[in-house]
Amino acid sequence: MSTVLSAPRPALTTLTEQERMFREAVRDFAVSEIAPRALAMDQAQQMDRSIVDPLFELGLMGVEIPESYGGTGADFFTSVLVVEELSKVDPSIGVLVDVQNTLVVNAILRWADEAQRSRWLPALATDTVGAYALSESGSGSDAFALTCRAVADGDDWLLRGQKMWITNGNEAGLFIVFATVDPEAGYKGITAFVVERGRPGFSVGKKEDKLGIRASSTTELVFDGVRIPSRNILGEVGKGYKVAIETLNEGRIGIGAQMLGLAQGALDHTVSYVQERKQFGRAIASFQGVQFQIAEMATDIEAARLLVYNAARLKDAGEPFLQQAAMAKLFASEVAQRVASRCIDLFGGNGFTTEFPVEKLYRDAKIGTIYEGTSNMQKQTIAKMLLK
């Protein structure tokens, strides 16, 4: 047997010392600063800006942005660890950071030229939240059925239309907006534009009243003849579909990390609670039926973690990861729902109240099987990869 094949390989969940220290710093911040505000933000349906600013200061909003642009200069896997840790405490904060790193920053790093990187990356690393505007009222799973139009006007483009369900809509200062420049060309007419907040004709519309991740703003965007210079095109005219597809492939790993963190957070609360809650004169953790449920949840979560970490490691290694990303997102989102539901059962009546955090995590879990590709779309992707 060759030396390479016989050499022990580190477990997927093994972290470097630098990764471990970074994760612990994120965990400390989440527990001390986010946890005390999570319920109030959920009830107010509003992100607390006093939490957003430190996210920049800690380097969590520009994990993969090179240090030369003011970022942390870490890898994609590190951004996954960040999203996981934040989501253990509040998945609303987790998705804010996830969209920033795995969608917005990722797209600019991959598709922007040097002049564009120099304009946008320092802001995204230091004080500007980003948003990714693909979805419309008639384009969900059919992502490229876009009606938002961009019409050439000299060296500029005029943008007209609406976007729906845009995460970070209220907080963002920079938006990656997908519009069609040629409806007859189908997906080959899609183009990605970077739109700065405050341009005439651009407004943030209705904020959705949601079941879960309520502190995360999900809004409508309205474009009424917004003038966009050609230098704000990300990639090439007509290549927006490639920008969207390749970015979303990585974004799904981020959502997998969000759901993984949510599930782990719910289980952590429950493991503590079942050792305190007493029935028939003893802690319910002493009952075999409860122990079996804890064991099953922990096993599901560890399986989800291996899928998410594996997909992230493959991405960083430059290996194909499309199938693994779909599997990670599919499994982690379904695990999050199962675990959060079972945790409420183990809390009993208390689990149905807002006094305990599992109620919120249960509501937050539902979106995982819907956004950035429904579970059915992930299954379709996995099957196509296996059958081609």
All domains in the chain, ordered by first residue: 12-129 (1.10.540.10), 132-238 (2.40.110.10), 242-387 (1.20.140.10)
Q: Is 117 helix (H, G, I), strand (E, B) or coil?
A: helix
C-alpha triplet 198, 204, 208: angle, nearest 5°? 160
User: Which residues have CB under 8 Å from 36's CB, separation 6+?
Assistant: none
First to last CA, the chain: 33
Q: Of all helices (H) and strands (E), which one includes residue 81? A: helix 76-89
Give the whole-angstrom CA distance, residue 107 versus residue 112: 8
Residues labelled as active-site residues: 372
Dihedral pair phi/psi, residue 117, rounded to 5°: -60, -40
135-152: burial string, b at 16+ Cβ within 10 Å, e else? bbeebbeebbebebbbee
Residuewise pLDDT in 10s, the chain (388 residues): 333 444 444 567 789 999 999 999 999 999 999 999 999 999 999 999 999 999 999 999 999 999 999 999 999 999 999 999 999 999 999 999 999 999 999 999 999 999 999 999 999 999 999 999 999 998 877 767 899 999 999 999 999 999 999 999 999 999 999 999 999 999 999 999 999 999 999 999 999 999 999 999 999 999 999 999 999 999 999 999 999 999 999 999 999 999 999 999 999 999 999 999 999 999 999 999 999 999 999 999 999 999 999 999 999 999 999 999 999 999 999 999 999 999 999 999 999 999 999 999 999 999 999 999 999 999 999 999 999 8
Give the whole-angstrom CA distance, residue 125 versus residue 99: 13
pLDDT value at residue 145? 83
pLDDT value at residue 10? 59
DSSP state of 31: I
| Confidence (pTM) | 0.95
pLDDT value at residue 265? 98
Residues in the chain: 388
